[in-house]
């Protein structure tokens, strides 16, 4: 088990190093400001972090990600669970869901800004709305798969509402909640950047837009790298351990 994990870690490091080497080699061959190498990007990153507003932008964007993530998960789960359990509600809203899944993110963003104004609420609602249908679809499947036999056990044992929820019902939805969270996080941070580019004057997305106008590819890559690093850290230090904990009962 331990040796397996070690070799797994080795493989991951090897893959990361290979990527960096290939990138450096390509940059060296191109020798152009259009493709800065990893060393140049790392230097720019350090400089932007110390002198520039990278950390502020990063913080603001992360706050937006967190807010829209929480909103989308709460609303999407509630809608999905309701649809999974009630055929009438499902019939009523299924078309809406398909519609929601297929409206382009950019359209939702424009409409939110036009209807709600160019403000923070509109930004967060726009991002959340893009994720809600996806969460709802996943949780609907989860609710449909809930094992009624186990709920009967809860009935026989006369469990309180909260124990029934915590010990019998929700554990059945955890795999679906995890799937929705992980796919949601990556979707949301991509959309947050678009929302910032279109209608905010701070955050990673806005700043990327500025660097785009200046052809500053090094800074674009530096901002991207910093954000990807944060998302990888969340995945590795929060999502994966959580998933392991929630599914440790599986053989």
Partner 1 sequence: MSALDVAVTRKAYRSERGEIVALADVAFAVRAGQLACLLGPSGSGKTTLLSLIAGLDRAYDGKIRRGGDAGGRLGMVFQTPRLMPWLTARDNVCLALDPAPGSAARAEKMLADMQLGAYLDAFPCQLSGGQQRRVALARAFVNDPDLLLLDEPFQSLDAPTAQHLRDLLLALWSRRRPTILFVTHDLREALSLGDRVLFLSAGPGRVVLDLPLDLPRPRSPDGAAVEALRKRLLESYPDLLRGLASEQESAA
Which chain residues interact with partner 1 by CB under 8 A? 149-150, 152-153, 155-159, 163, 167-168, 171, 174, 248-251
**Quick one: which of 206, 182, 245, 211 has its CA closest to 58?**
206
Are 204 and 88 spatial neighbours (Cβ–Cβ below 8 Å)? no
| Shortest spacing between CB 152 and partner 1, in angstroms | 5
> What b-and-e string marks burial along 56-81, b requiring 16 or more CB atoms within 10 Å of the CB?
ebbebbbebbebbbebbbebbbebbb
| Shortest spacing between CB 180 and partner 1, in angstroms | 18
**Nearer Cβ to partner 1 (51/149):** 149
| Shortest spacing between CB 219 and partner 1, in angstroms | 47
Distance CA 110, CA 60 (A): 21
Paired tokens of 79: 């809608």
Radius of gyration of the chain from its Cα atoms, rounded to whole angstroms = 22
| Shortest spacing between CB 163 and partner 1, in angstroms | 8
**Nearer Cβ to partner 1 (42/151):** 151
**Nearer Cβ to partner 1 (163/240):** 163
**SS3 at position 32:** coil
Distance CA 149, CA 166 (A): 16
Cα distances from 206 to residues 23, 25, 57, 142, 197, in angstroms, run: 26, 30, 9, 37, 4
| Shortest spacing between CB 161 and partner 1, in angstroms | 14
**Nearer Cβ to partner 1 (159/194):** 159
The residue count of the chain comes to: 251
Ramachandran assignment for 223, one of left (phi > 0), alpha (psi -120 to 50 degrees), beta (any other):
alpha
Distance CA 149, CA 139 (A): 19
| Shortest spacing between CB 153 and partner 1, in angstroms | 5
| Shortest spacing between CB 85 and partner 1, in angstroms | 18
**Nearer Cβ to partner 1 (52/171):** 171
**Nearer Cβ to partner 1 (5/245):** 245
**Nearer Cβ to partner 1 (24/172):** 172
């Amino acid at each position: 088990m331990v040796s397996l994990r070690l070799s797994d870690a080795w493989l991951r490091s090897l893959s990361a190093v290979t990527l960096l080497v290939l990138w450096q080699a390509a940059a060296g061959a191109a020798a152009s400001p259009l493709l800065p190498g990893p060393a140049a990007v790392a230097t720019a990153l350090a400089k932007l972090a110390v002198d520039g507003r990278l950390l502020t932008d990063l913080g603001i964007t992360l706050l937006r990600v967190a807010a829209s993530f929480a909103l989308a998960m709460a609303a999407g789960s509630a809608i999905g669970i309701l649809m999974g359990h009630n055929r009438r509600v499902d019939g009523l809203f299924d078309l809406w869901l398909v519609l929601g899944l297929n409206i382009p993110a950019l359209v939702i963003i424009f409409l939110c800004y036009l209807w709600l104004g160019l403000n923070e609420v509109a930004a967060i609602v726009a991002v959340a709305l893009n994720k809600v249908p996806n969460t709802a679809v996943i949780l609907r499947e989860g609710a449909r798969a809930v094992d009624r036999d186990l709920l009967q056990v809860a009935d026989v044992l006369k469990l309180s509402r909260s124990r029934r929820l915590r010990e019998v019902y929700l554990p059945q939805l955890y795999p679906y909640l995890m799937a929705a969270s992980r796919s949601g996080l990556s979707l949301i941070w991509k959309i947050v950047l678009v929302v910032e580019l279109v209608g905010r004057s701070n955050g990673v997305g806005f700043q990327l837009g500025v660097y785009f106008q200046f052809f500053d590819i090094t800074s674009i890559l530096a901002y991207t790298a910093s954000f990807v690093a944060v998302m990888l850290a969340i995945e590795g230090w929060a999502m994966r351990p959580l998933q392991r904990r929630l599914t440790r009962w599986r053989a």
